[in-house]
Structure formats: structure tokens, C-alpha cells
Amino acid sequence: DSGVTQTPKHLITATGQRVTLRCSPRSGDLSVYWYQQSLDQGLQFLIQYYNGEERAKGNILERFSAQQFPDLHSELNLSSLELGDSALYFCASSTDGTRANEQFFGPGTRLTVL
Amino acid sequence: KNEVEQSPQNLTAQEGEFITINCSYSVGISALHWLQQHPGGGIVSLFMLSSGKKKHGRLIATINIQEKHSSLHITASHPRDSAVYICAVSGGETSGSRLTFGEGTQLTVNP
């Protein structure tokens, strides 16, 4: 158990809908990362938050947004869902978000868009 | 060309065999990470390396910074080692602390 929690574990929804994925980092970790794992693109970085502020952005679609709250949990919002958004979404946390910091992964949320 | 390349893509071994998975990267980094992804999907961090060699149980990871190459070795492999092993790098000048991943190596260890 990494200490990172993600909810829900599975999510099945329809095209055009909006969903929210939630992540709670390990106790004391200030940085949260969101990654997407799809069959055709592998694991890709989406976005990073550090202590409530956006730190870095990767290949995140404009339909997707995220935030980190004062209690350090983070939410990833996916809207106008398309079939291609079906993937495993992982969040990871690290202590301070510096360049050589071990990241601890949550169990992931499996999103299926029908 | 991907920034992180792994080989082989697939590896089948017999229980007890010594296994090596290789990773090459083409960018400057601060650290290289080896991750294990179980059949159920969960990802576990095995090692984070900046230089030299690390050992944990039957797993050994090495990195050669000059050659931009890392290897993950598993000694006395066991069927429970069957998983996808993923190499990732972090700390490049433009990439910060995000992880950039290789495509993974699917390892199957037969009894």
C-alpha cells in the first residue's frame, strides 16, 4: 500500500458526459501528479500540482482540468468525454516535487467511455 | 524516437533464471526510476537512481550516466515476478520532476 488513495476504482460513463476523479496523496506529500495510461499511447504525464498551485502541464486536453485543494487532495475533471478518453488514470505523490523525488502511485481509476 | 527506450518488449523466462531488462534515454536527467506494474494495474516504485547501483532483495538496478543507460536485473526469478517493468526518467531541464516513461517490458516467468 503506497498510501495514495484514488476514487472511484472503476467508472463507466457515456460519451459527452463529465466525471471527476479524486486523489489523496500520502500524508505529508505536497506534490500530486496525474498520469494517463491508454493502450495506444502508454503512460503519459498530464499535470502536476504542488501545495495547491499548478506546477507543470503535459499532454492534457483542454476538456480536462485539475485542482489541488488546501487539504492537498486533488481532483481531475474530464468533460465532453470521448471514446478515446477510456484509460487508466493514475495519480502519484511525492514529498516536495523536486527533480529527483520518488513518486508513489495510487491504485488508479479505470475509466470506460461507452 | 522516444526519449526513453526499453528492451526487450517481451521476455519469457524459466523460474530460477537471471533476467536483465535494459533502458536507454536520450535526454538529460536527474533520476531514473524503475517501476513494476502488476497484472491488476497497480504501479509500484522499485528504484530511483541518480548514479551507481542499488539492490533490494533479488532486484538490482544500475545506471551509467555517461552512456545514458540503465539495467534492471532479477536474480533467481520466480513466477510472482511476472509483471510489466517500466523505466522512467525525471529531472530534465525542461521536464522538471514529471516522469517520462518507456513502453515497458512484459516479463513472464514460468514455473
User: Are the beta carbons of B48 and A100 separated by less than 8 Å?
Assistant: yes
Across the interface, whether the CB atoms of B31 and A43 are under 8 A apart is answered no
For B53-75, write each residue's pLDDT tens digit: 999 999 999 999 999 999 999 99
How is residue A99 written as a grid cell?
527533480
pLDDT of B1 > 70? The answer is no
Contacts A100 to B, Cβ<8 Å: 30-31, 48, 50, 90-91, 97
Please classify residue B95 by burial: count the beta carbons closer than 10 Å to its beta carbon, then call 0-12 exposed, 13-18 middle and 19+ buried. buried
Give the E-state strand segments of chain B in sequence order.
Answer: 4-7, 10-14, 19-25, 31-37, 43-49, 52-56, 59-64, 69-74, 83-90, 100-101, 105-110
Containing B60, the helix (H) or strand (E) segment is: strand B59-64
Q: What are the pLDDT digits (tens) for B11-39?
A: 999 999 999 999 999 988 889 999 999 98
Using a CB-CB cut-off of 8 Å, the residues of chain B touching A45 are 98-100
User: How does pLDDT run across A54-92, given as a tens digit for each residue?
Assistant: 999 998 999 999 999 999 999 999 999 999 999 999 999
Q: Identify the pLDDT of residue B5.
A: 96
Residue A16 to chain B, least CA–CA distance (Å): 26
Residues of B in contact with A30 (CB under 8 A): none
- Bridge-based pairing of strands A109-113 and A10-13 is parallel
